[in-house]
Amino acid sequence: MTMDAASAAVLPLRVRLAMLLRCFAIQGVWNYETMLGNGIAFCMEPALRRLPGGRGGDAYRQAMARHSGYFNAHPYLASVAVGALARAELDGVPAVQIERFRVAAPGPLGSVGDRLIWAGWLPLCSALALLAFGLGVRPLGVVLIFLGAYNIVHVGLRWWGLQAGLTHGLRVAQSLGNPVLRQGPAHVARATALVAGIALPVAAQGIIGPGRVVLGSVLAAVAAGATLVTLLHGKIEGWRLATIVLAAFVLYSVVR
Amino acid sequence: MGDALLFLPLTVLGAVLALDVVSFPQAMFSRPIVAATLAGAWVGEPDRGLAMGVALEFFALESMPFGASRYPEWGSASVVGGALFALTPEGTAAAMTAAALSALLVASVGGTSMVLLRRFNAYWARQQQARIARGSGSAVVALQLAGLTADLTRGALLTFLGLAVLVPLHEAIVASFTMSPTVSRAVVVAAASAVGLAAVWKVVHTTPLARWYLAAGVAIGMLIAAGLM
């Protein structure tokens, strides 16, 4: 007995919301062996209770065992896989097809998410918040600008991914061809470059206060430091280098 | 300043924000610009917390939470840095340098603690492997909750120990620092902005035209900064 496709796609709202809520904790037990694996099963679990035999039935147990193994993807776009795999299980898709999807999906879901969010949207939102600070926005405003901008996309992406997965099942790959996901990262990277470029001197001036000579010296040091950090890329991370510089500066200031 | 009653709420804040870094809900409450501002607000100085958060945010631009990569943990580190800076009176020379250094040290230790936690998570998963392989839903849920609890505990311990160790060190540095407040801030801003600029370059330089957008942005930013002075 299998659940028909239409009913799988329209799981009750409370089940979808339970899955969405669990998606926020999908990395709760992230580790170097199964990575997101346990989290995927954890997120699918509310839907899998609707399999024949219910919670604890054979279908439920087989599905839980299948989905708690190794899986890796971007945590936000993993909701696409959660939805697609839940739909496949509820539709009674053969295990071999489900396993094929589990092998094929992580690559695209990881690379698209990394480029769009970690290398795109998050730096852009940081730069927006830095610029807001530099322009004199109050602390609450800066925090709200950052969290509001970031989480509209964050929460929206998780919800969209879950819905897309539940709607299309294992054919969800076509959703990754969405123009926002394909062309979005390049547009976001350009916006990040522009806003971060504006934010850098403005925010720096916001911290050190008035004084053209000081700001000029700082910006010259920033250019030299950024060049050094770029040249040393792969040898030492910039924040570690900065830690050494600041420790040396503090030591000099204390003992001189 | 070394009051345990003050440490307790900051420890809770650090724990919750450390949890946000990866485990739940990864909504970026843990980014320095938010976390340090919250810590500053908690001790009654949101503006100083934000200033510290801005400096740390430049550093954090370099380390995004890419999957299995190792990166500093900014949630609890920003709480420690934001609180230390906010608790030091306005105009204190070493305040920003010492607080930023403290935050960077906690971020480094925090990154290591996340690696250890991930190894523990793998160990716990192996312990539950037989039940999970039989399809036990309760084992999957229990494992997930254990990981979340362990991460919360990690954040609390890190924040508390960070404050306990670094508050006295911060006070000692502040007492014997010989540079001016302007130089102190300028050095932190220069170091942080250099890391931030290099990070932005690393992210965008492969995108067509993005380097020109960055150059245009810096030029516009310098004009705005000059106008604001």
d(Cα A200, Cα A163) in Å, to the nearest integer? 38
- Report the C-alpha gap between A138 and B222 in whole angstroms: 21
Helix (H, G, I), strand (E, B) or coil at A188: helix
What pLDDT, on a 0 to 100 scale, did the predictor assign at position A2?
47
pLDDT of residue A173: 85
Tens-digit pLDDT profile for residues A154-202: 999 999 999 999 999 999 988 888 888 888 999 999 999 999 999 999 9
Cα–Cα distance for residue pair B195/A160, rounded to 1 Å? 34
Taking CB atoms and an 8 Å limit, are B194 and A224 in contact across chains?
A: yes
What does pTM read for this prediction?
A: 0.95
B142 touches chain A (CB under 8 A): no
Q: Rounded CA gap, A64 and A46, in Å?
A: 11
- What whole-number distance in Å separates Cα of residue B61 and Cα of residue A244? 18
In order along its 229 residues, chain B shows pLDDT tens digits of: 456 788 999 999 999 999 999 999 999 999 999 999 999 999 999 999 999 999 999 999 998 888 778 999 999 999 999 999 999 998 898 999 999 999 999 999 999 999 999 999 999 999 999 999 999 999 999 999 999 999 999 999 999 999 999 999 999 999 999 888 889 999 999 999 999 999 999 988 989 999 999 999 999 999 999 887 6
Is B111 an interface residue toward A (CB < 8 Å)? no
Q: For this complex, say whether ipTM is above 0.90.
A: yes
B38-57 core/surface letters (b: 16 or more CB in 10 A; e: else): bbbbbbebbebbbbbbbbbb
Q: The tokens 């607080």 sit on which residue?
A: B99
Tell me whether B195 touches chain A (CB under 8 Å). Answer: yes
Interface probe for B, chosen from A200, A212, A232 (most Cβ of B below 10 Å), is A200
Contact assessment for residue B103 and residue B39, using Cβ atoms and an 8 Å cutoff: no
| pLDDT value for A256 | 81
pLDDT reported for residue A228 = 96
Residues of chain A with pLDDT > 70, as a percent, come to: 96
pLDDT one-digit tens code per residue, A45-98: 999 999 999 998 999 999 999 999 999 999 999 999 999 999 999 999 999 999
How far apart CA A182 and CA B64 sit, in angstroms, is: 21
Q: What is the mean pLDDT of chain A?
A: 93
Contact state of B33 with A239 under an 8 Å Cβ cutoff? no
Lookup: tokens for B160: 């508390």
Report residue A249 CA to chain centroid gap: 36
Asked if residues A131 and A142 have their Cβ atoms less than 8 Å apart, the reply is: no
